[in-house]
Amino acid sequence: MASLTIENYVKTVYQTCVRQGNSPAGTGQIATALSVSPGTVTSMLKTLSESGLAEYTPYEGVRLTESGRNLALRVLRRHRLIELFLAQTLELSWDEVHEEAENMEHAVSDHLIDRIERFLGYPTTDPHGDPIPRADGTIEITNSHSLAETSAGESFRLVRVLDQSPEFLRYLSETGLSLGVEGEVSANREEAGIVTISFAGTDTTLAQAVAEKLLVSYINQDKK
């Protein structure tokens, strides 16, 4: 049985690689994500390699092996189903569930997670729109793109939030943006670093840095 530390590392390596198109995760990236020193990361990556969970090459980065990927998906499955369970049954807000799930994901069994999944009706995404891995290790990635890349005049639906820090999620809530919100891009001024959107009868201007963290799907998919 993998330790808490190993589970955290393989999960972080997996998420880092996915964010950058499956290229190797760098030591510095992992150190930043886990708030540890690069030296600590290097030592742990060697351990993961020796355990057959990763392939680590100094100065190039690390990739997970098939075994490492399977473990990472199991941890993510637990985390995301716990988040959804807390949101739907205990009515925790989407800015509260992440930290609670971080504490619980290592303590629950896969059997309990399977029961939670069945109880929730086999959901496909968590409260932030992240896909929930299935029990067989597969994961469904929906077609979406950054709001920052959306042209003026395009209608969209917010389907996923990449920055899940409590502060950012509370900001979105205060702005009125939640998963499923539909709107239209009124203007995308890359030279000014802003995106103006219209939803729920109001116009809201977002910084490009904010819009990049919001993934949307086109409402009229026939246009794309």
Determine the pLDDT at residue 223: 46
Determine the pLDDT at residue 67: 96
Per the CB < 8 A criterion, the answer to whether 127 and 94 are in contact is: yes
Question: Considering the chain, what percentage of its residues have pLDDT values greater than 90?
Answer: 88
HEC sequence for the chain: CCCHHHHHHHHHHHHHHHHCCCCCECHHHHHHHHCCCHHHHHHHHHHHHHCCCEEEECCCEEEECHHHHHHHHHHHHHHHHHHHHHHHHCCCCCCCHHHHHHHHCCCCCHHHHHHHHHHCCCCCECCCCCECCCCCCCCCCCCCEEHHHCCCCCEEEEEEECCCCHHHHHHHHHHCCCCCCEEEEEEEECCCCEEEEEECCEEEEEEHHHHCCEEEEECCHHHC
Tally Cβ neighbours within 10 Å of residue 79: 25
Determine the pLDDT at residue 1: 62
∠ Cα 15 9 103 (to 5°): 90
| Predicted model pTM | 0.90
Q: Give the domains, in start order, of the chain with CATH numbers.
A: 4-64 (1.10.10.10), 74-141 (1.10.10.10), 145-223 (2.30.30.90)
Q: Which parts of the chain have pLDDT scores under 70?
A: 1, 221-224
Determine the pLDDT at residue 41: 94
Q: What is the per-residue burial (b if ≥16 Cβ within 10 Å, else e) of 89-117?
A: eeebebbbbbeebeeebeebeeeebeebb
pLDDT tens-digit series, residues 28-79: 999 999 999 999 999 999 999 999 999 999 888 999 999 999 999 999 999 9
Paired tokens of 35: 């708030």
